Structure 1
Amino acid sequence: MARNIRILALLLAAQMGLALVLLGSGPSLQAVNPNTPLLNLGEGELDELLIEGDDHSQLLLKKQDGLWRLPDHHNYPAEQGDVTALLSQLKSLSHGTPMATSDAALERFKVADTHFNRRITLKRQQQVVAVLYLGSGQGARNSAAHVEGQPGIFNVAIALHQVPQTAKAWQDKTLLQIPAGEIMQIATHGLTLQRQPVDKEDKAAKPSWQATGLQAGETVNSTAVESLSTKLATLRIEELLGVTDQPAYGLDKPVWQATLTRQGQPPLIYQLGHQSEPNSYTLKRSDRPEYFKLPTYLAESLIEAGKRDSLLNKAP
Structure 2
Amino acid sequence: MDHHTSTTTRAWLLALRTPAAFYPAILLGLQIVLAIALTWAARGTLDPGAAQGPLLAFDPKAVTSLRIEGAGESVTLARKGQDWLIPELADFPAEGAKVTALIDRLAGLKRVSPVATSAAAQQRHKVADDGFERKVTLKAGDQTLATLLLGDSPGFKRQFARPAGDPAVYDLDLPLFEVGNRRDDWLRRDLLQVDQDQITGVATADWTLTKEKDAWSLAGTTDKPDPAAVINLLGRIGALGYRGVLGTEDKPEYNQAAPTLELTVQLADGGNRVYRISPAKDSKDSILKAADRPWYFKLSASDLEGIAGLDRDRLLGLTPPAVPPAAGDQDQETDDAAAGEDAAAADAQTPQDPEAQREAEQAAAAVDLDDASAPEETNEGAAPQDAGADQTMAPGAPGGQ
TM-score with structure 1 setting the length: 0.79
**Contact 2:253–2:281 (8 Å) recurs in 1:** yes
* Structure 2 letter corresponding to 1:99: V
**Contact 1:194–1:211 (8 Å) recurs in 2:** yes
Q: Does 1:212 align with 2:219?
A: yes
- Give 1:60 deviation, angstroms: 0.9
TM-score with structure 2 setting the length: 0.64
* Structure 2 letter corresponding to 1:48: S
Matched residue, 1:109: 125
Matched residue, 1:52: 69
- Give 1:54 deviation, angstroms: 3.9
Matched residue, 1:124: 140
Report how many residues are paired. 279
Aligned partner of 1:272 among 256, 271, 277: 277
Query: Pairwise mapping of residues 9-28 of structure 1 onto structure 2 (< 5 A)?
Result: none
Matched residue, 1:204: none
Q: Does 1:37 align with 2:65?
A: no
Aligned partner of 1:253 among 254, 258, 271: 258
- Give 1:229 deviation, angstroms: 1.3
CA distance in 2, matches of 1:190, 1:37: 62
For residues 189 and 38 of structure 1, do their structure 2 counterparts lie closer, same or farther at Cα, with a shift above 3 Å needed?
A: same
For residues 188 and 123 of structure 1, do their structure 2 counterparts lie closer, same or farther at Cα, with a shift above 3 Å needed?
A: same
The structure with higher relative contact order (CA 8 Å, sep 6+) is: 1
Matched residue, 1:158: 174
**Contact 1:47–1:62 (8 Å) recurs in 2:** yes
- CA RMSD, Structure 1 to Structure 2 (Å): 2.7
* Structure 1 letter corresponding to 2:67: L
Larger Rg: 1 or 2? Answer: 2
Larger proportion of strand: 1
1:278 alignment partner, SS class? coil
Q: Does 1:185 align with 2:201?
A: yes
- Give 1:37 deviation, angstroms: 2.6
Per-residue CA distance 1:166-207 (angstroms, 9 max, x = gap) = 112222222111122211111224433222445xxxxxxxxx
CA distance in 2, matches of 1:224, 1:107: 59
List alignment gaps of at least 5 residues for structure 1: 1-22, 199-207
- Give 1:151 deviation, angstroms: 4.5
Larger proportion of helix: 2
- Give 1:278 deviation, angstroms: 3.4
* Structure 1 letter corresponding to 2:204: T
For residues 185 and 117 of structure 1, do their structure 2 counterparts lie closer, same or farther at Cα, with a shift above 3 Å needed?
A: same
- Give 1:49 deviation, angstroms: 0.5
List alignment gaps of at least 5 residues for structure 2: 1-37, 322-401
**Contact 1:219–1:314 (8 Å) recurs in 2:** no
- Give 1:34 deviation, angstroms: 2.8
1:193 alignment partner, SS class? strand
Q: Does 1:89 align with 2:119?
A: no
**Contact 1:61–1:69 (8 Å) recurs in 2:** yes
